[in-house]
Amino acid sequence: MFCFKSIIMVSISLFILVTLITTVISQECVPYTSSYNFTGYPGIWEKPTSTVFNTDEFKRVNSSIDWTKVPKVATHKLTKAGDIDQTGYSASDPDCWWSYNLCTTPKAAGLKPDVVSCPEPGTWGLTYDDGPNCSHTVFYDFLKQNKQRATMFFIGSNVASLPNEAKRALDDGHQICVHTWSHQYMTTLTNEEALAELYYTLKAIKYVIGVTPLCWRPPFGDVDDRIRAIAQQLNLTTIIWNLDTNDWNETPDGTETSAQVDATFQGFVNMGANGTFNNSGVIVLEHELDNNTMSKAVEWYPKIKAAYKYIVPVASCLNTTHPYLEANFTYPSFLEYINGNITTTTTQATTPTPSNTQTGIANIDVQSTTTAASNPSPSTKSASASISSYNSLISMMIAILIAQLFNNFF
């Protein structure tokens, strides 16, 4: 007989289960202590200041830039609401300012066009911004289980806060690119600030992960010819996108409902199915920002895979087999990737040749941190490890509840 005592026990078990689930959902990304030393870098999630500008290292980097090749473009400002202010800007768009007119073909001489799509027909260029994220273990496991590689645009401050998560991305075969140090609107920054945002992210990635990226994406897409010129002198190719999922804008932090974000994804799936991209491919903006964006990525992946011929990282869709400054690292070409050869290879390290060593990027100094970078030993576990523990507890509680209900009813 279903007695009062059993009701109380089941109620208590349900309460504990809900509490554990709530704890997991609300788990925040908390930086942990590690053996990496980021002394001399900008503050975590802080815009670079004179503290780094006055160091001998940054002065060397700054002096290595040929500033005569950087267009003299006025910095832009932000509105009170925190958006980019376009007031007074010329309708002719003289600076190829993406935020103003989605311009991706520079008007200044000597600058390479932005990469906005994959050239291969029916191809979905898979990219995720804003990582690494401390609670992304399940998400990365999902990609690994599906033998799926992606291009990850990492924020330098996140790499410094969560080095083990950053290292996993390379270990899993993902392509790593730069997404600046503190995620600022780049055209609002001075030349020094913009250079530092890029340089110290490159340095952090090299220090922690061991490779030096040759690609970057401006936060919010905010780039003009001045910023492109600075990035190009650091050997960084600007990668934008031609489809934006708006996953970042979902409530409660954004303004779109989950259904609205789903509708955007569905629209892109329809495009793949109806032949919109039969003559070209896409590069799609998604985010490793939080559990909402990563959950959307997992949910929609099977539908995207069914609608498009191929889903590939940007390096492979562009046939970039050497996506890093280090010549000993080889990435699969497009044909290799779609034919199942998705492994990356590393040969004995070689010294970069003058042809692929330019200005400040050659001045990245990680000699003093080599030991820590090769064998990190964080003194505390990351939040992702805690989430795994909570998941185990939840599974256990579910089993207990089922057993309790089974005994009471049968």
In the block, tokens 């919109």 appear at: 276
Cα radius of gyration rounded to whole Å, the chain: 23
Backbone angles phi, psi at 197, to 5 degrees: -55, -40
Burial string for 319-358 (b: 16+ CB within 10 Å, else e) reads ebbebbbbeebbbbbbebbbeeebebeeeeeeebeeeeeb
Active site residue 129: yes
Q: Looking at 76, 179, 183, 287, which residue is catalytic?
A: 287
Residue 98 CB burial class (10 angstroms; 0-12, 13-18, ≥19):
buried
Q: Cα separation of 41 and 98, whole Å?
A: 29
Question: The tokens of 100 are what?
Answer: 């103003």
CB 206 within 8 A of CB 362: no
Report which secondary-structure segment, H or E, holds 270: helix 258-274
CB 288 within 8 A of CB 128: yes
Residues near 286 by beta carbon (within 8 Å), at least 6 away in sequence: 126, 127, 128, 129, 245, 247, 293, 296, 297
Active site residue 136: no
Q: Cα separation of 218 and 115, whole Å?
A: 12
Question: The tokens of 183 are what?
Answer: 């995620």
Helices of type H across 117-189: 137-145, 156-161, 163-171
Q: Looking at 95, 114, 129, 130, which residue is catalytic?
A: 129
Catalytic residues: 129, 287
